[in-house]
Amino acid sequence: MSYQKEYRESIEHPEAFWSRQAELISWFEKPKTILSQDEKGFYHWFKGGKLNTSYLTLDFHVENGRADQTALIYDSPVTETVLRYSFQELKEEVSKFAGVLREKGIEKGDRVIIYMPMIPEAVVAMLACARLGAIHSVVFGGFAPNELAIRIDDAKPKVLVTASCGIEFSNIIEYKPLVDEALRISNDPPVNVILLQRPQANASMQAGRDFDWDELMSSANPADPVPVDATDPLYILYTSGTTGLPKGVVRENGGHAVALKYSMKSIFNSNPGEVYWAGSDVGWVVGHSYIVYAPLIHGCATILYEGKPVRTPDAGAFWRVISDHQVNTFFTAPTAFRAVKKEDPEAKLKDQYDISSLRTLFLAGERLDPPTYDWLEGIMNCPVVDHWWQTESGWPMCSNPMGLEAHPVKVGSATFPVPGYDIQVLDDEGQPCEPGTTGNIVVKLPLPPSCFPTLWNDDERFQKSYLSQFPGYYQTGDGGIIDEDGYVFIMGRVDDVINVAGHRLSTGQMEELIGSHNGVAECAVVGIDDELRGQVPVGFAVLKDGVQIGQDDLEKELVAIIRNEIGAVACFRKSAIVKRLPKTRSGKILRKTIRQLAFEEDVPVPATIDDPVILSEIKDAMEACGIGKYSES
């Protein structure tokens, strides 16, 4: 079926379309209603259906001839370890740990916090929760105690599962002191902690509360999958909120399984038995959807990589993993390849490996800037696909649908809406924008399966944050355009579209232009307050290794680029060279924090930042260049 025909059916006849997709997974009881609304008007998919997500990822394949096929490949350059689990072996581990959780009182609907590094036991714990119908909430390993405590108090778990440490490059990060402090300050700490002792660090144990993973597993009685309703929650995943308090995104079992199964072929063009690798972390939505659930539901081998794109041991790490495990589909964030490009700009390390197995490279998680796309397109012998989605959606919203019909690339665009998503662009008054006009990216309700139906225990915040600004639409919080050919361009968060003397300008567009400078490895452009013009853009640039250029010279060249390509209306006059940009651990640039640093004295250190020292470096650069409060004017 062509993309246009499939997309049109999904929008005009969503119930018929998704009823057909639901046939692709195994149900204990088929759904009685495909699409329904509850008393609050929130949408739910496949009501009345019964299934178990752990069964779909493991038991189904064991029962249908894939028992001995590889399901999980653990590749850890930081510990020099490679392990492989067949579907049968992974099922046995998951069944046993589900038995462990059951013995600790975990039942259907109970919550379990998982605070672990990128190790097989993290995947086992997630699937074991799903097996019992328990709701897992994975918290990124290494999160500060206060942030962990906030999530504990919101989810109210009975059990917390952790490990003695994580490893960042060669640094050992002990988790247990962080967990102990989080439990100390929590108002609702779990009764039990299950801890995996790793060889790199031995954690202290509190008698009566803390239990050793290996000891419990040695005597566990395996648990069978528990049937759950399609509308029962599978997990809660916390995402940042504008109030500072995280929002608990809820994912329901039925819609999640159907949409992920559909996406593996229609978007990623992956086939059962192939090797799929998402270079992310299980603490983020990409890790949930495309390290753990989607590949296993589809019958692929999935890779769990405990390493970085660089320094584990070098910028050839990605190429090595693709070569060693014959990866067919690879999905990561643009920031990862910018790090690779910075250290190996000519991609010489790639030539050391045979990556001919790779059929498609997918990028998401942030905007794919044209310089990074152009670099990748120049070194890869396969399609490079930009796609866009969010924690709230749980799977791609826009993509070049490689399994349906590949379309010509427009650099900077995530191509077309994925079937199921009626994506539109509205102005601030809620009126449709003309093609090519920047506005608010919204999705007409109902959202397709797998998208969150609400926030955990906070329907009011769900309504206010996502549905109130444009009634009948989901407000994505992103701005962008749809051009005359229907291509969607995501230009960044709405607050990254700045207003300079009445002109709406995209900082994403300026970042593209600055990134095209042959000395710039990566950059960020933020709008800072200006008494005369409302806001003015300021650039922060990280230079490529080995590039020698002075601050003044670079600033003049960047100003000239912006003036030539956008015009004097942009009022781009200031830029600073910085060693690095402040980012979350998942690689997103903290533009809001940079803006705050320009004028505020006491800027809170975001819990998600990868290295707080960067903030002082940014402040020093601002002072040296006269930006914000340091400006003489």
216-253: pLDDT as tens digits: 999 999 999 999 999 999 999 998 765 557 899 999 99
| pLDDT band, residue 423 (cuts 50/70/90) | very high
Say whether pLDDT at 32 is over 80.
yes
Say whether pLDDT at 508 is over 80.
yes
User: Rounded distance, CA 329 to CA 214, Å?
Assistant: 34
In this structure, are residues 251 and 269 in contact, taking their beta carbons and an 8 Å threshold? no
Of 356, 414, 355, nearest to 385 by C-alpha is 414
Say whether pLDDT at 31 is over 80.
yes
The angle subtended at Cα 359 by Cα 358 and Cα 361, nearest 5°, is 80
Q: Can you tell me whether residue 627 is helix, strand or coil?
A: coil
User: Rounded distance, CA 335 to CA 199, Å?
Assistant: 31
pLDDT digits (tens, 9 = 90+) for 377-388: 999 999 999 999
**What's the pLDDT score for residue 355?**
98
Task: Just give the CATH number of 501-630.
Answer: 3.30.300.30
User: Rounded distance, CA 428 to CA 470, Å?
Assistant: 9
In 3-57, alpha helices (H): 3-12, 14-22, 53-54
Based on its alpha-carbon atoms, the radius of gyration of the chain, rounded to whole angstroms, reads: 24
Cβ within 8 Å of residue 624, ≥6 positions away: 551, 576
241-248: long-range contacts (C-beta < 8 A, 24 or more apart)?
A: 241/461, 241/465, 242/465, 244/604, 245/150, 246/147, 246/150, 246/151, 246/154, 247/455, 247/458, 247/461, 247/465, 248/137, 248/151, 248/154, 248/155, 248/455, 248/456, 248/457, 248/458
Higher pLDDT, 249 or 606: 249
pLDDT digits (tens, 9 = 90+) for 179-226: 999 999 999 999 999 999 999 999 999 999 999 999 999 999 999 999
Domain ranges of the chain: 88-226, 501-630
Per-residue tokens: 599:
């004028």
Share of the chain above pLDDT 70, in %: 97
Q: Which residues pair with 167 in a beta bridge?
A: 172
In this structure, are residues 453 and 250 in contact, taking their beta carbons and an 8 Å threshold? yes
What does pTM read for this prediction? 0.89
Say whether pLDDT at 111 is over 60.
yes
User: Rounded distance, CA 340 to CA 380, Å?
Assistant: 14
Q: Which residues pair with 493 in a beta bridge?
A: 478
Question: Phi-psi category of 155—alpha, beta or left, where left has phi over 0 and alpha has psi -120 to 50?
Answer: alpha
**What's the pLDDT score for residue 241?**
61
**What's the pLDDT score for residue 502?**
64
3-class DSSP string for 272-301: CCCEEEECCCCCCHHHHHHHHHHHHHHCCE
In this structure, are residues 185 and 146 in contact, taking their beta carbons and an 8 Å threshold? yes
Report residue 533: phi and psi, to 5°. -110, 5
At the topology level, CATH places domain 88-226 in Rossmann fold (3.40.50)
Say whether pLDDT at 4 is over 70.
yes
| pLDDT band, residue 261 (cuts 50/70/90) | very high
**What's the pLDDT score for residue 604?**
81
* The total number of residues written for the chain in this structure: 633
Q: Which residues pair with 75 in a beta bridge?
A: 82, 305
